[in-house]
Amino acid sequence: MLHELDIAGLRLKNNIFLAPMAGYTNLPFRRLCRELGAGLAFTEMVSCKGLAFGSEETKRLLVSEGESPRAVQIFGSSPELMRAACESEELSGFDLVDINMGCPMPKIVRNGDGSALMEDFPLAERIVRECAKSGKRISVKFRVGVREGDGRAAEFARLCEGAGACMITVHGRTRDKIYAGPVDFGQIAAAKAAVKIPVIGNGGIWNTKDMRKMISLTGVDGVMIARAALYRPAVFCELTGREEPPMLPLFLRELDETRSLLGERFACVHMRKMAAFYLKGKRGAAAWKRKLFAAETTEEVERYAREIFASAPSCAPSGEE
């Protein structure tokens, strides 16, 4: 099930990917997951409008020095702005550009972006086609549908391939389910059967058993890991058959890199959250979280992290993704 994967000439060491996650998949975290075994790691989703208007906040999401290969996810509903983003200097160093057509969050959908595009096939097709004209490798991430029972994954997959996408990722839930409920393996399998380009399965994968189930029931070419990576980055070790290294040194390096790259205040707030994820399954997690979220400096976060990692190991999480 684990194998190299070719995406339009981009050769990847394996078929286990880190999903783009807003607020989390910055460069230090991507580096961590790549070191632990992820074959590809995506940036947080980047606004094409933010790029067009030269937003410094948007540019900060694109920091990727030393990363190879590089994968970025963009979102928007203007074919022209999306193509301009693909052709921009800011995206010139990226090997793969993914189009977000699956985000279920109301603030994204209200603007006609993300999974709203699954309700407008002609517009979605124009966006993919325009982005492909940029000459970049284009992939699309979408859901199996908008609401339960609409069954549009195969049709949308064909649309993406026909418009020039070289890979698709299918999240196995409809938009109305957000991130809860069972994964519709049948719809993912239908999308896989409908196209010749690589198809990546996403949703509900927390361990090797889940990965094997996704691949065996759908035939997908690889899997994409989201929230499981936040709670346990070493899930990539499990999925790729590597020995799990001690995590404290890696966490402390992530803390240091985040501080150097994004500043003391951001690092303090962000790494409090990242440390808290490791508490899933630990006895006394609530008390630890209260201490963590009261920390005002990265030195305090480091001190609490050392105590957390010194205590009993957390259980590997399971549940909905």
Q: What amino acid positions are annotated as catalytic residues?
A: 103
Going by C-alpha positions, the residue among 231, 222, 274, 283 that lies closest to residue 251 is 274
Nearest Cα residue to 159 out of 181, 116, 126: 126
Q: Environment class of residue 280 by beta-carbon count within 10 Å: exposed (0-12), middle (13-18) or buried (19+)?
A: middle
* Strands 199-202 and 167-174, bridge-based pairing: parallel
DSSP state of 207: S
At residue 144's C-alpha, the angle toward residues 139 and 148, to 5°, is 160
Continuous segment of H or E residues that includes residue 249:
helix 247-262
Other CB atoms within a 10 A radius of the CB of residue 180 amount to 10
In the structure encoding, which two tokens stand for residue 170, read together? Answer: 């299918």
CA distances from 259 to 10, 63, 80, 188, 235 (A): 32, 14, 36, 40, 25
Distance CA 163, CA 150 (A): 22
Which of 99, 61, 65, 60 is CA-nearest to residue 82?
99
| Residue recorded with tokens 């959250």 | 273
Contact 109, 80 (CB under 8 A): no
Residue 51 identity (one-letter amino acid): L
Largest CA distance in the chain: 55
Task: Compute and round to an integer the Cα radius of gyration of the chain.
Answer: 19
Q: Which amino acid is at 277?
A: F
